[in-house]
Structure 1
Amino acid sequence: MLATSFVILSAFFAAQIEALPSGAPVSSCSTMMPFHIPFLFVQQGVAPFSITLSSQTASPQSPITVTLKANSGGPAFKGYLIQARSGKNIQAVGTFTADGQSNTGKTINCPGGIKNAVTHTSRTDKTSETFLWTPPANFKGQVVMMATVVVRYNQIYKGVQSSLITRKKKG
């Protein structure tokens, strides 16, 4: 009985981790994990993905392009959630634009903001997704782009990070 229950629960949880076709739910915003369930499927070590930036400085008048991509020879990915975060703060900052960029993603409204995260809109294999990010008007200090990337139900990479982004100096 216990073994049967374990198999049924394992199958249920595995199905829940598969990249949702409509993207990450708002409930994933704070943890950046599928369904807030602490799975053992988070991969350790260096992720085969990177987040590149068009610039390491940004301002509300000078947004930057953010690209999540599979590294050369790395696997394609089915799902993702990307946010800009400051320090240990779990609240996403700034706004993303998905329209007109090279992506199949969409913006979502995580708590405390509007369009402050981006996620996938289909489970098709992807090797690159590009968005525009605009910092908030009161942007000071530094932020980093954070991503969770789903390759398949048992292969999730959490904590994929960009280099630091600082406020662009006037002038």
Structure 2
Amino acid sequence: FKINLTCYLFVQKMWTFLQIFCLALISCVVKGRQDGAPMEACLTLHPGHSGQPQQYTPLPFDLLVDNPEPEVDDKLKLTIRGKSPEDKIAGFLVQAREKCETPIGKFDVQNSKIAKTIDCPGGVENTATHVNPNLKDEVNLTWVPPSGYKGHMSFFVTVAKDKDTFWVARTTETVWYY
């Protein structure tokens, strides 16, 4: 039984390449999204975590709005934080919406190490998302209403504890601008 050395080395190199390729592919799948929600999430607010189902259990995070009855042109601060010390935030996606429709206003990101804005259909900087999967105790976001806005809106919030555990489009109390 004779083995062609050239063919043998070629097959070994191909096998090594295939193993490295498969490891790289698996690591991409395991890591998930590290730089925020994809543009496809603009409508549904679903993070698209490899077909994982969302949680329907009570949200273990507080969604706090600093002023439930602001005046025209007042900015709002939204705070997301765990209800217990174990509840950390790995990812988030936030929009302000009027009647469950398209996002309104824009976010003014104060800490670019935690959040960034994306432009979803209908506006600019109208959605805030995480910039990395590092666990966060709390997220603070500043929202700027459209100029002269009068009406009511709510924040729609998706929060992820990890790649497999997330809650989609949970809402804050309604905020009225007079």
TM-score by length of 2: 0.76
Aligned to 2:4: none
Larger relative contact order (Cα-Cα within 8 Å, sequence gap ≥ 6) = 1
Shift of 1:41: 2.4
- Identify unmatched segments of 5+ residues in structure 2: 1-24
The residue number in structure 1 matching 2:106 is: 95
Query: Equivalent of 1:33, from 34, 42, 46?
Result: 46
Cα distance in 1 for partners of 2:43, 2:30 equals: 18
- Out of 136, 153, 156, the residue aligned to residue 146 of structure 2 is 136
- 1:126 maps to what in 2? 136
Asked if the contact 1:59–1:139 (Cα under 8 Å) also holds between the matched residues in 2, the reply is no
- The aligned counterpart of 2:98 is 86
Equivalent in the alignment of 1:15: 29
User: How far apart, in 1, do the equivalents of 2:30 and 2:119 lie?
Assistant: 21
Is the CA contact (8 Å cut-off) linking 1:49 and 1:74 kept in structure 2? no
Runs of 4+ that moved beyond 4 A: none
> What is the match of residue 5 of structure 2?
none
* Contact 1:142 1:165 (8 Å CA) reproduced: yes
Rg: which structure is higher? 2
2-structure distance, mates of 1:67, 1:134: 15
SS in 1 for 2:156: strand
In structure 2, do the counterparts of structure 1 residues 60 and 74 end up closer, same or farther at CA, with 3 Å as the change threshold? farther
SS of the aligned residue for 2:104 comes to coil
Separation of aligned partners in 1, 2:172 and 2:138: 14
Task: Write the letter of the residue equivalent to 1:26.
Answer: M
Of the three residues 116, 133, 136, the one matched with 1:106 is 116
Q: Which residue identity lines up with residue 66 of structure 2 in the other structure?
A: S
In the alignment, structure 1 residue 55 sits paired with structure 2 residue 62: no
2:159 is aligned with 1:149: yes
CA contact (8 A) 2:72 2:150 kept: no
Q: Report the CA distance shift for 1:74/1:143 in structure 2 as closer, same or farther (over 3 A).
A: farther
Is the CA contact 1:59–1:134 (under 8 Å) kept in the aligned structure 2? no
Task: Check whether the contact 2:73–2:149 (CA below 8 A) recurs between aligned residues.
Answer: no
Name the CA distance, whole Å, in 1 between partners of 2:122 and 2:71.
Answer: 20
* 1:25-50 Cα deviation digits (max 9, x unpaired): 2221101012397x452111211012
Q: CA deviation at 1:134?
A: 1.2
Q: How many residues align?
A: 154
Q: 1:162 & 1:54 partners in 2: Cα distance?
A: 11
Q: Tell me what 1:3 maps to.
A: none
Q: Does the 8 A contact of 1:50 with 1:161 survive in 2? A: no
* 1:16/1:35 contact within 8 Å kept: no
Unaligned runs of 5+ in 1: 1-10
- CA change 1:15–1:138 in 2 (3 A) is farther
Q: Sort the Cα spacing of 1:28 and 1:17 in 2 relative to 1 into closer, same or farther, 3 A.
A: farther
Deviations 1:57-111 (A, max 9, x none): 235531111111111244212111000111131x11111111259x711111111
